[in-house]
Amino acid sequence: MKRFVIIGASGSGKTWLGNELAARTRYLYLELDAIFWQEDWTPRPKDEMETAVAAVIEADRWIIDGNYGSLVQPMVLQAADTVVWLDLPRWRVMTAITRRTIDRGLRRRELWNGNRESLRNILRWEPEDNIIRWAWVKHPEYRRQYAAMAADPRHAHLEWVRLRSRRQVDCWLDRVAPKH
């Protein structure tokens, strides 16, 4: 296992796991949200996303976290050898995303390129404007999508690791990349 893709619903812990795995392995790490969201929450164009991702997947050892199915997921999956699917229960994801969103909003913590989450967004109904609602709506969709991807013969070259609890995540991480 040298080329990891970490996928899952918003709030499932993709970035935490990516950071932790990268710290333990010293592999190149890319958080897709960090390159997708430019200043003022402006999405990066597809060709620029592809260029940034291509530079990472040329390396021998890497970790990429994020979904971005229509933008770069096909090229990432083709180059990967391992998919880590964080398939946590919806209640767990909703608890995490709610706490995280409120914390980020209260602290006004910068995420990427000057962007910050606003507590006002929690009051918005459209999932595209409210990360908590996005996580609620997308959770079952991601579950169906990733189950189909895992069964797809085009992805037979990949080792699929489906982790369904925080305990499974911790055990897998300790097995693959023990703390030093």
Whole-model pTM?
A: 0.92
86 in helix, strand or coil? strand
CATH number at residue 120: 3.40.50.300
163 in helix, strand or coil? strand
**CB-based contacts of 150: which residues, under 8 Å, 6+ apart?**
83, 85, 160, 162
Q: At 133, phi and psi to the nearest 5?
A: -65, -40
The domain of 45 spans: 3-176
The 10s digit of each residue's pLDDT in 29-75 is 999 999 999 998 899 999 999 999 999 999 999 999 998 877 888 89
- Pairing of the two strands 82-86 and 37-38: unpaired
Calculate helix-pair angle for 131-151, 90-107, nearest 10 degrees: 140
Q: Quote the number of domains for the chain.
A: 1
The 10s digit of each residue's pLDDT in 64-107 is 999 887 788 889 999 999 999 999 999 999 999 999 888 988 88
Task: Let me know if 121 is exposed, middle or buried by CB neighbors in 10 A (0-12, 13-18, 19+).
Answer: middle
Percent of the chain residues past pLDDT 90, beyond the cut = 72
Calculate helix-pair angle for 166-176, 14-25, nearest 10 degrees: 20
Tokens for 108, please give them.
């006004």
